[in-house]
Homo-oligomer: A and B are copies of this chain.
């Protein structure tokens, strides 16, 4: 029996995983989106553990999360995910986040590359055979246009913040966790910007991340932004040698 191309995983907002307004934290939501990618892929034979056996690894390149409402403390929520397209060097994965009654809370969009762990170069996904069949099973699911945009920082000469990669920042690969970059972005703003749960059902409402390089323990990254006061703020994160590790846009 063929597996449906969409899988759904259910969670609840546990106390002590919310923000100050009692909404699910971006950290937990983000890491669960990555977790669901892993579960969905593993069920179809191309999960992290599967591809590592052939010297390959999935690498996150873009992540957009757009929320109408963040679930609140104690609330359940379901993350549905599916693969929505296979390009030469990238695969597109989509997500829908919904309340138990069906209310759509938000959507997420991600781009992943399959790289060779030897060469660190992307593998040509279009040349893959039957193995990639599950990646080609694109379901007919409604999805809004939340595609990533161009993120550019032009004028900033002085960093708005800096961060040195430490133990609690690390993921199992020993690099700064992808979602931790989102936290560094959010921490550029005063907590008042995020409002209360009632007035701001999701704050920010959209996060758009472009991942460019990895950050190792002890490395310092500096965050540059032209202007932090607008409704939409673009940020570039650079290592001391100028390498851009990530770009991000936060929309309130």
**A interface residues, Cβ below 8 angstroms from B:** 14-22, 25-27, 31-32, 34-35, 38, 73, 166-174, 177, 179, 183, 186-187, 189-194, 217-218
Q: Pull 28 A–B residue pairs with CB atoms less than 8 Å apart, ordered by A.
A: A15-B38, A16-B32, A16-B34, A16-B38, A16-B177, A17-B31, A18-B171, A19-B167, A19-B168, A19-B172, A20-B167, A20-B173, A21-B172, A26-B168, A27-B168, A73-B172, A166-B186, A166-B187, A167-B187, A167-B190, A167-B191, A167-B193, A167-B194, A168-B186, A169-B187, A174-B191, A190-B218, A191-B217
In the assembled complex, which residues on chain B have CB atoms less than 8 Å from the CB atom of A172? 15, 18-22, 73
Chain B, residue nearest A188 (CB): B166
Given A14-B35, A35-B14, CB of A170 within 8 Å of CB of B217: no
Cα–Cα, bound, A72→B139 (Å): 35
Copies in the complex: 2
The 5 closest A-B pairs by CB, nearest first: A166-B187, A16-B31, A20-B170, A191-B217, A168-B183
Is B191 a contact of A16 with CB atoms below 8 Å?
A: no
Cα(A26)–Cα(B167), bound, Å:
11
- Residues of B near A174 (CB, < 8 A) are 20, 191
A167 to B26, CA, bound (A): 11
Q: Closest residue of chain B to A17, judged by CB? A: B31
The minimal Cβ–Cβ distance linking A15 to chain B, given in whole angstroms, is 5
What residues on B are CB-neighbors of A189 within 8 Å? 167
Alpha-carbon distance A69/B68, docked complex (angstroms): 41
Task: Output the least CB separation between A160 and chain B (Å).
Answer: 12
